[in-house]
Structure formats: structure tokens, C-alpha cells
Amino acid sequence: MAAHDADKQGRTSTTAIVVPAVPLSSGKPMPRLGFGTATATLGHAEGHTGVMEAVLRAIGAGYRHFDTAAVYNTEAALGDAVAEAVRTGMIANREEVYITSKLWITDAHPGRVLPAMEKTLQNLQMEYVDMYLIHHPVSMRLPEAEGGPVVVKKDLVAMDVKGVWEEMEECHRRGHARAIGVSNFACKKLENLLCFAKIPPAVVQAEVHPYCRQKKLREFCRSRGIQLCGYSPLGASGTVWANNSVMESPVLKQIAQDRGKTVAQVCIRWIYEQGDVVITKSFNGSRMRENLDIFDWELTDDDRDKIDALPESRGNYDFLVHESGPYKTAEEFWDGEIAAGHCNDITAIVSSD
């Protein structure tokens, strides 16, 4: 595709918003707003071309931080989009983007981390990722056959965290990952990891939105020099695991009306004001730009007080909990740091059998 063709499709960055970045304990600074590529169908309905086009639109809007994972089935499309953006001059080179990917639970075993890292780099067609995360603090036995649910609860097993983290550190030492971190680790699990980590996690990625405020985790991370990165800022609206209370909240709707903004912008701005990195996700071009429009205004103290008074709940609640697994209750999985959960039927991607 020629550069002028990219221009015609609205991919140029002439009006792109410049996103601030935050320094990390290792690697290059991370842009404060990222573009997520996780979809409810794990990339199947959108297809390679659909994901690739969405990433190109996002680059044109100003996004430079892109979040993927082995389980999302979007690594290859993201890699092709970045290569296309470089080829057409939308960005100067690969260094201009920040790429995060994640180790899936079937590969969260000693001896499987480095091969999984190499597969991710092969998918992305890149020599390194900027951030590599352990996706969840649990492992799963390898499935007997491909094509089934991504999580089979009876196959969940305790993770050898020390052994897995040592191989994450080896990924870092080899230059495959410029920085390493974790996702969905609560404070107790982080404290355990820090007891033996030679390279501490630079980032913890977790669900963050006005109904899942993560105050305890945020304070813990600040005290240890770890950057909190929030996913599902809108409560994963539109997915089967959604916390629907966020987008349907009368309180958030009123704040949005008072500020002349959308509920989505209020949520993203609130997380940004906490000092977190935010991973947004929309493949719609106008909403991509809308999600970036959060830098030149602020919430009021009254707005913040109203958000702080909202009941706590989350969407990512108990889908890695099972009576035969290492975590038998949601409270156990999240180290007792959540008050309530809200999780719809996710049988399309999770099996108990």
C-alpha cells in the first residue's frame, strides 16, 4: 500500500495527538495511553486484516503503545501493521512504538517461557518487545488437542513462579524483552515475587476503572517503584466478561454530562489522573480519537469524590478459579483485595471439564 493510499484511509498522523510517557524501572518510557488488541472472539471474528487496519487507524490517531498477547491471536496482525506503518512512512521505525505482549498460562512453566517468547517475536516479526508480562498468576496443563476452550479449569495448576520468573529474566537478559512484568497479580503475589526477583517487575497490569479502583494495589506499586497499567477502563463493555455497571452508571453519566464529555472519557481521564497507564480498546476510528481526548481537561474534586463512593466490583473475577485448582475462590485468587464480582457467562472460552 502506497503512502498516499494510507492518507486516503485516514491513517496519516498529521493531526495525531502526542501521548505523554512515563519512565519505568527498566526499558524505555511507556506511553500513558495504549491501544488494546484483545477482542471478545480472541481475534477470530475480526480477522487478521480487521485487526491490522484497526492498528493502522490507531497509529494515524496518535497511539504508539500497543498491547497484545499470545492468547489474543493478534500478534501477527499487529506486527504486520507496524511493518506497514514503517514502510509507508506513518512512523519512522519500530523504535517509535511500544509493544507489550504476554505469556499465556499454558506456557507459564519452566522450560516453556523462552520458546513462547521466541514464538511471540516470530509472530510480531520483531527482534524484541518493549514489555513482556506473565498473563496470570496460574498455569495450565497443555491441552490434548488444539481448537478447544482457551481455559480448561480442571487443568489449572499452581505456577512455579520462581522458575517462570527466572526465565522471564532470561528473556530480558537476552534482549528479547526490554522490560518484564506481570498481569493480574495482587499485592500478596507481588510481594512473594519481589522476595526472589533479581529483576523486579517494571509493570503490573490489572483491571482498573471507576468500579474497580485498585487503591491498595496502586499504593503497593508506588512503594515498590512499579508502574500500574490499567486494562478494561470501561469495564470491558461489549464482552461476555463485562462489568456492565461502568457504562450504565448514572453517576458517571452525570459527571460526563457536567463536563461535556462521554462516560468513556471520564473513565479514562480518572485512571490517568491516578498516575496509571491506561489500555483502551476500540476499533472504531472516531472512538479511538475520542479516547485520546483526555489531556486538556480535569475532573473536579466533587467528581473524584463521587467516583470514590461507587461500589467495588470487577468483570475479571473468577474464571481462573476451580475446586480442583490452586485457587478455589475468587477471594483466594485476588488475595482478598476485592469486595464483589460481576462476571457474565464465558463458557465460549472457558470450560470446567
* Grid coordinates of 287: 472512538
Cell numbers representing residue 252 in the block: 458517571
Is 5 exposed, middle or buried (CB count within 10 Å of its CB: 0-12, 13-18, 19+)? exposed
Report residue 215 as a C-alpha cell: 487503591
Joined grid coordinates for residue 121: 517475536
Segment (H or E) for 180: strand 180-183
Q: Which amino acid is at 25?
A: S
**Does 172 show up as a binding residue in the annotation?**
no
For residue 134, which of 179, 93, 173 has the smallest C-alpha distance? Answer: 179
Whole-number Å distance between alpha carbons of 101 and 89: 24
Cα separation of 160 and 142, whole Å? Answer: 15
Tell me the C-alpha distance between 314 and 318, whole Å: 10
Q: Which is nearest to 50 in space by CA: 68, 37, 62?
A: 37
Residues 190/181, Cβ–Cβ less than 8 Å: no
Q: Which residues contact 149 (CB under 8 A, 6 or more apart)?
A: 347, 348, 349, 350, 351
Residue 72 annotated among the catalytic residues of the structure: yes
Catalytic residue, from 72, 98, 211, 272: name it: 72
Q: How far is CA 162 from CA 24, 32, 115, 130, 140, in A?
A: 22, 29, 18, 22, 16
Q: Which backbone phi and psi does 157 adopt, to 5 degrees?
A: -140, 160
For the four alpha carbons of 101, 107, 112 and 116, in that order, the dihedral sign comes to: negative
d(CA 223, CA 229): 15
Kindly write down the DSSP assignment for every residue of 126-146, as one continuous string.
-S-BSEEEE--S-EEPPPSST
Which residues are known to be catalytic?
72
Annotated binding site for substrate: 135
Annotated binding site: 135
